[in-house]
Structure 1
């Protein structure tokens, strides 16, 4: 599919203050991190992933044969699109716009056309909650003849409101690495609808051997454990407090932020230089935001909720970037005190 723009590390390296990815800023989840350190990478995983599929099935209350293991959400998107293209060569694909660019990229790579808004698609992608804006709306069933897939990547990170019921005939795609603060560990799984046996078989035929390595297995096994979900629930309260503080800070700068149910949202500002120039200046100060143009929302940025020290760095970088040339810089803020806990650097104080 070629290189698609994403957040995170870039040609300048790892951003010191990274608002550009949607990973849980409270992570990594300690229990998952311990499991990753213990996992045995000297041996192959079970190629059928039987024990893992049983654990994931128990978590969701479904039969194990309905669990489809995938190397990542992106790999599943490509594989599902290829399976639909082989079965229906003239199929059209419905992709949310704005939305994750991989849906449309996979369709183009498979030689499939994107469906118009008024056109019924053979393969329809949805996200709940949505990206890039973190919105949430009810999703209607597409009806017979359409393969409907709900991307649930951000469902575990919902901060407010009840999750809407998902259509029973839809596939669900789960990628818990972002919720656990470990996006570098690639692992995903899908839950097939009860009547999805034929498509499950096509997906299995297209799968590589061992789509998951030992670390991906360890992450998904940890995802099924109660301790991991206890940590996740606690992190959501902290993220909600950070989000309120971050929104207040950005409002004070004159930014316009869209409401969201997630620890990420989209924002824009009316005045100043072009967006690309502003983002480059912020990046030069160690702060990275995500240009939402590649997500179908030009003129906006997507940014995740980050701890107060990162928020202060964003404010300082914004003011420095907006300062007229020749003006002396303001004295730097004192660095936040760093402590060590569980091997990870923790900024203090938290709100």
Structure 2
């Protein structure tokens, strides 16, 4: 009997792939978790009541396949039509759809039609999505202080204004830097491919770029209910943009992609925005207070327009601080990438959590 060699079962692209590593979700009693930029405060009581009321016999039915009620309510909020909105299983799903919809697979080719580009450092999921889509990846460095390079300098830095898809985190993660609508608008105007402005943290910023999605036919703005609206558990995000782009994404979207309870929770959230805006102000006030206190302890804290801080600690390396804080049941995030390896990313928790963090930082610094 001749045994034939079996062909490889896994695509070479997947074998080479370095998967995205999400933030740790440990089960340590008493841990203060400041590593994944979750909101420290629970959803509105109205949201919890709506979700509990939806736990009924409808569980046997599929959810609304296009999140139509949610799209209609979001359209009213943003002053557009439901056709300008697509809802996803978190904004991550929509970012993946964008790579599949707007980019021609050709990983070994540097042609613009096969290029996904982004600034570095930014969301580390972007290169993973590009690789999965079989695209050419173009990572362009930010300035040393994590600000955007001047428009005229971008081509020298390697930015391709003809790239099929440009992904721009604004405000930036992991630095927390905010970018003005004016500079983003200039970049979008010059771009010929699709530009996604990823506004996952925009509710903690001074301005937003939603108007650019209405103004430009090639611009999409990405939003999520996770960071600001305490719905990480439900995974709901959305894109706003020109109806042609949204229709194209919808062709690629999986059916029934947003779970029913997620739709219920997001709808109830939009009915209680004043509750969340009070939380935004509370988190921003805590962020500014912690910035002042850490600066006083010798930390170098970057200006933030998000619900986290990127800060360089004193005395010993950031990775060593990570271990010392964890030993004291304080979990923050450290990245090994050269541009940020000297920093820790610290989620803004509740006032009590941040008081404990600052007290511990003071003890470790002395």
Aligned: 1:85 with 2:97: no
Structure 1 residues 88, 190: CA separation in 2 closer, same or farther (over 3 Å shift)? Answer: farther
TM-score where L is the length of structure 2: 0.77
Tell me how large the CA RMSD over aligned residues is.
Answer: 2.6
Residues 132 and 295 in structure 1, CA contact (< 8 A), matched pair in contact too: no
TM-score where L is the length of structure 1: 0.80
Whichever structure has more helix as a proportion of its residues is 2
Residues 99 and 296 in structure 1, CA contact (< 8 A), matched pair in contact too: no
Aligned: 1:238 with 2:238: no
Residues 32 and 353 in structure 2, CA contact (< 8 A), matched pair in contact too: yes
**Superposition pairs for residues 1-351 of structure 1, below 5 Å?**
3-10=19-26, 13=28, 16-40=31-55, 42=59, 43-86=61-104, 90-115=113-138, 116=140, 117-120=157-160, 121-138=163-180, 139=184, 140=186, 141-143=188-190, 145-158=192-205, 161-163=206-208, 166-167=211-212, 168-169=215-216, 170-194=219-243, 197=244, 199-225=245-271, 227=272, 229-272=273-316, 274-293=317-336, 297-318=340-361
Residues 165 and 195 in structure 2, CA contact (< 8 A), matched pair in contact too: yes
Q: C-alpha offsets along residues 53-105 of structure 1, whole Å, 9 cap, x if unaligned? A: 21121111111111112111111111110112348885211212111111121
Q: CA deviation at 1:147?
A: 0.3
Structure 2 unaligned runs (5+)? 1-16, 108-112, 141-156
Residues 73 and 270 in structure 2, CA contact (< 8 A), matched pair in contact too: yes
Q: CA deviation at 1:285?
A: 1.7
Residues 15 and 283 in structure 1, CA contact (< 8 A), matched pair in contact too: no
| Structure 1 runs of 4+ with >6 Å offset | none
Paired residues, number = 314
Q: Distance in 2 between matches of 1:235 and 1:180?
A: 9
Residue of structure 2 in register with 1:339 after alignment = none
Structure 1 unaligned runs (5+)? 324-351
Residue of structure 1 in register with 2:9 after alignment = none
Q: CA deviation at 1:142?
A: 4.4
Q: Distance in 2 between matches of 1:14 and 1:173?
A: 35
